[in-house]
């Protein structure tokens, strides 16, 4: 079993701990790494390995095992991450995560990848600073791509030290082009949200009920979600919107 090799490896490293110091790592992350990912180590005294009470398993829900390992972790982490998951919505992917404790925490960077390897920052969420209760955070990725979207949290404290979470993923699939409209009557801004299955050019047109053209624009679409805002000067309570691309035409009515 991998976990037995894992504990054995920890014991073997003890002879080096005097020279190199103890590892400063979270034991809950160790359990996650055992389940998949790069294996890291925390130091457990060799005299204690045989006597630690690990309960009846080694899963991430085994609190006895977690508590036993954490007893020998010689650092207080700025953030203890309890959960991190993506939720697929109509035209976005919502990331939700919870922390059970925070110390000197500054902010979260939301990292995204389309290949699971190269990650870029797509957002930032302010952290609580200090907390001993469960806190819930969220971030909406309004530009998911078709296929797998990979996410990771970079948790940064006020000293600029940081940790990274496990990687989670969500598949965002749509077979046909579709679009959504929203009109802010106070500002006169028409918001357009287009789901496209590939990169292409589209013609966007707006008409009133009498057939008078109010607005027209050629749009360059990317694979995934495309967002546009247009200033529309009209008193019409009902508008007709056309979206045409590659010979396909979609028509929607918007009532203000």
DSSP annotation string for 219-256: EEE-SEEEEEEEE-----SEEEEEEEETTEEEEEEEE-
CA distance 237 to 241: 13
Listed residue (172, 163, 171, 128) closest to 32, CA to CA:
163
Contact 243, 179 (CB under 8 A): yes
C-alpha 34: how far from chain center: 22
Beta bridge partners of 240: 207, 253
3-state secondary structure of 34: helix
Contact 34, 73 (CB under 8 A): no
- Token pair belonging to 246: 């590659």
Ramachandran angles phi, psi of 5, nearest 5°? -60, -35
Which domains does the chain possess?
A: 2-70 (no CATH), 79-172 (2.60.40.10), 178-255 (2.60.40.1930)
**pLDDT value, residue 171:** 85
Please give the chain's pLDDT, 256 residues, in tens.
Answer: 444 444 444 443 433 333 333 334 455 555 554 444 443 444 445 454 444 444 444 444 555 555 555 555 544 556 888 899 999 887 789 999 999 989 889 999 999 998 888 999 999 999 999 998 999 999 999 888 878 899 999 999 998 888 888 899 988 876 566 788 888 877 888 989 888 878 899 999 999 888 889 999 999 998 888 889 999 888 888 899 999 988 888 898 888 7
Beta bridge partners of 25: none
**pLDDT value, residue 8:** 42
Strands 178-184, 168-172: parallel, antiparallel or unpaired by DSSP?
A: unpaired
CA distance 60 to 228: 43
For the entire predicted model, the pTM comes to: 0.50
Contact 106, 156 (CB under 8 A): yes
Listed residue (189, 191, 187, 192) closest to 232, CA to CA:
189
Dmax over CA atoms of the chain, in Å, equals 86
- DSSP codes joined into one string, 8-30: HHHHHGGGGHHHH------HHHH
3-state secondary structure of 88: strand
């Amino acid at each position: 079993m991998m976990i037995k090799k894992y504990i054995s490896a920890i014991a073997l490293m003890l002879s080096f701990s005097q020279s190199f110091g103890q590892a400063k790592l979270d034991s809950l992350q160790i359990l996650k790494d055992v389940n998949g990912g790069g294996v890291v180590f925390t130091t457990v005294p060799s005299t204690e390995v045989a006597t630690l009470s690990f309960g009846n398993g080694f899963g991430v829900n085994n609190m006895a095992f977690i508590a036993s390992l954490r007893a020998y972790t010689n650092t207080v982490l700025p953030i203890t991450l309890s959960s991190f998951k993506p939720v697929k919505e109509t035209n976005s992917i919502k990331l939700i995560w919870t922390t059970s404790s925070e110390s000197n925490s500054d902010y979260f960077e939301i990292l995204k990848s389309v290949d699971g390897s190269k990650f870029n920052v797509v957002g930032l969420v302010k952290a609580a600073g200090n907390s001993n209760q469960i806190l819930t955070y969220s971030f909406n990725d309004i530009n998911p791509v078709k296929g797998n979207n990979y996410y990771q949290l970079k948790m940064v404290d006020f000293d600029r030290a940081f940790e990274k979470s496990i990687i989670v993923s969500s598949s965002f699939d749509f077979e046909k082009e579709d679009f959504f409209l929203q009109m802010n009557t106070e500002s006169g801004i028409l918001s357009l949200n287009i789901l496209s299955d590939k990169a292409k050019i589209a013609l966007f047109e707006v008409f009133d009920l009498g057939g008078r053209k109010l607005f027209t624009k050629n749009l360059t679409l990317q694979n995934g979600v495309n967002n546009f805002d247009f200033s529309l000067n009209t008193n019409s309570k009902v508008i007709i919107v056309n979206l045409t691309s590659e010979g396909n035409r979609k028509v929607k009515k918007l009532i203000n």
